[in-house]
Structure 1
Amino acid sequence: MQKTALVPYAHLPRTHHDRHVLTSTVDVFGAAHWLLADRAPQPGGDALPYDALVVSVHPGGDVELTELSAVRARGPRLDRLPDGGFVVAAARAHQYEDGDQVQVFDVLGRETSSFSVGDAIEHLLVDEAGHIWVGHFDENPAGIRRWSPTGHLYWTSDGAGIPGLFDCYALNVSGTTAWACPYTDFPLVEMRPDRPVKVWANRVRGAKAVAVHGGRVAFYGGYREEQDRLAHGELTETSVEPTESGLLTLPDGSRPGRRRVVGRGSRIYVQAQPFTTWGVFDLRN
């Protein structure tokens, strides 16, 4: 089976390896971010809130540090806003009072707003306009929604005609466009704020990330032995037609094991334990 190796992309500087990585992501402009704390908040254990540090590595290699005060999220999701601020959200909302689940911080690390987007956050990705796309897993029927940084709901998948949307397995946000591949039918879905949703039937099941470039698409992940699968396809008017399938590996050829994934346009970013390094696959190459 053909193997494709990730290309090394960004590394957490070694000076910060003594801190706990709460989460990490790559933003819409290509900067990698790590949310660090002295130790991980434990369920029912450590008191909240806690102070955290965001280490940002920009595409040119410049490193930026932002201290966040009084973070409340266990199991956090993180992304950066275009103005340099950050969004931190708790994946589970049931333990937070109204308005406490999502925190927005300014460029100096001060909280400027808080609100709730609902329980069971699978993906949280900010677009170039500063809006927050949230994809939920199956314990919340909200599907996919787009929020402002102040908590205004701008768009929802309710009534959008997306078949079998019970769990947002894969979400890709690039520019102001979002792509998804949701459970149970796994269609490829394109969502633009100013256009009707487009849906393509798809036979690839269980992908955790998707990349799109022109008329080509790549799906990463799957069930059981297919968790490292990289499946390619071409878009027709109504469906994704498979072209080839192989494996996506770490740069050294090994399999990732536990990993984080982020989809951004033509790119799929993958981060394996100990979550200090990002690799990238680019469909354009």
Structure 2
Amino acid sequence: MQKTALVPYARLPRAHHDGHVLTSTVDVFGAAHWLLADHAPQPGDDLPPFDALVVSVDPYGNVELTELSAVRARWPHLDRLPDGGFVVAASRVRRYEDANQVQIFDALGRETSSFSVGDAIEHLLVDESGHIWVGHFDENPIGIRRWSATGRLAWTSDDAAIPGLFDCYALNVSGTTAWACTYTDFPLVEIRPDRLDRPVRVWANHVRGANAVAVHGERVAFYGGYGEERDRLAHGELTEAPVEPTDVGLLTGPDGLAPGRRRAVARGSRIYVQPEPFTAWCVFDLNN
């Protein structure tokens, strides 16, 4: 089976390797961010608000540090806002924390607002306009929503006729467009909320279980799957017909080995992959 090797992209500076990586992401402009704490949260811990550090590395290798005050999320999602601030959200919501689930921080690390987007966050990605896209997993099957940075619901999949939307397996946000694959039917969905004539397009899709998707022009690539297909990379074409895999191989680390436990973030034509111990990002680009 053909193998495609990831390319090294961004690395957490060694000076910060003593911090615990709570989460990490790559934003819509290509900068990588790590959210660091002094230690890892333990199961059953009822943590008070804590200070955290965001280490950012832009595509040119420049490093920026932002201290966030009074972070509340034990198992957080992170992304950067276009104004230089950050959004931090708890993936799970305990009843008494619901109103404070999402925290918005300014560029100086001060909390400016908080609101709730619903329990069971699988993906959280900010677009170029500063809207926050949230995809939920099946313990709270409310689908996909787009929020303003002030907590206003700007778009919802409720009436979008997306078949079998119980779990947002894959979400890709680039520009102001989102792409998704959802359980149970795994359609490929294009969402353009600002397009009045056809905001949602749906393709039936025969690639099952992918947890990241990249799109470039009429080409698409699906990463991941069930069981032995965990590292599968399947290519397809966007036509009027259902998406059929045209080429199936494996996506490996730069060393040719399987990445193992990892995070994946999809942005446009790119899939960023971060293997454990989560200190370095690699990239696959469908446009190359």
Same fold (TM over 0.5): yes
Map 1:105-254 to 2 at 5 A: 105-195=105-195, 196-254=199-257
SS at 1:107's partner residue? coil
Question: Pairwise CA RMSD of aligned residues?
Answer: 0.9
TM-score, scaled to structure 1: 0.98
Cα deviation, 1:53-72, whole Å, max 9, x if unaligned, reads 00000000000000000000
Structure 1 segments of 4+ aligned residues over 6 angstroms from their partners: none
Shift of 1:96: 4.3
Distance (Å, rounded) in 1 between the aligned partners of 2:285 and 2:116 = 34
For residues 215 and 188 of structure 1, the distance between their equivalents in structure 2, rounded to whole angstroms, comes to 13
Structure 2 Cα separation of the partners of residues 181 and 264 of structure 1: 14
| 1:224-255 per-position Cα deviation (integer Å, ceiling 9, x unaligned) | 00000000000111421321000000001111
Q: CA-to-partner distance for each residue in 1:150-208, whole Å, 9 max, x for gaps?
A: 10000000010100100000000000000000010000000011232100010000000
CA–CA distance in 2 between the matches of 1:251 and 1:234?
26
Identity of aligned residues (%): 82
Do the aligned residues in 1 keep the contact of 2:74 with 2:90 (CA within 8 Å)? yes
CA contact (8 A) 2:130 2:148 kept: yes
Whole-Å separation in 2 of the counterparts to 1:43 and 1:227: 27
Letter aligned with residue 31 of structure 1: A
In the TM superposition, what are the counterparts of 1:12-161 in structure 2 within 5 Å?
Answer: 12-45=12-45, 47-161=47-161
Structure-2 separation of matches of 1:48 and 1:282? 40
Provide, for residues 98-156 of structure 1, a one-character-per-residue CA deviation record: whole Å limited to 9, x for no partner: 42100000000000000000000000000000000000000112100000011000000
**Matched position secondary structure for 1:158:** helix
Letter in 2 for 1:50: F
Which letter maps to 1:189?
V
- CA deviation map 1:234-279 (0-9, x unaligned): 0111421321000000001111111000000000000000000000
State the SS of the aligned residue for 1:240.
Answer: coil
SS at match of 2:15: helix
Aligned partner of 1:51: which letter?
D
Q: Which of residues 263, 266, 270 is equivalent to 2:266?
A: 263
- Which stretch of the first structure deviates more once superposed, 191-200 or 247-256? 191-200
Q: Secondary structure at the match of 1:241?
A: coil
Name the amino acid aligned to 2:206: R
Cα distance in 2 for residues equivalent to 1:127 and 1:96: 29
Cα displacement (A) at 1:95: 4.7
Mapped contact 2:78–2:89 kept (Cα < 8 A): yes
* 8 Å Cα contact 2:89-2:102 kept in structure 1: yes
SS at match of 1:225: helix
Amino acid at match of 1:149: A
1:273 aligns with 2:268: no
Gaps of 5+ in 2: none
Which residue number corresponds to residue 6 of structure 1? 6
- Please tell me whether the aligned partners of residues 218 and 283 of structure 1 are also in contact (alpha carbons under 8 angstroms): yes
- Asked whether the 8 Å contact 2:207–2:244 carries over to 1, the reply is no
Output the CA distance in 1 between the equivalents of 2:207 and 2:47. Answer: 43
Q: How many residues end up aligned between the 2 structures? A: 285
Matches of 2:156 and 2:267 in 1, distance apart?
Answer: 20
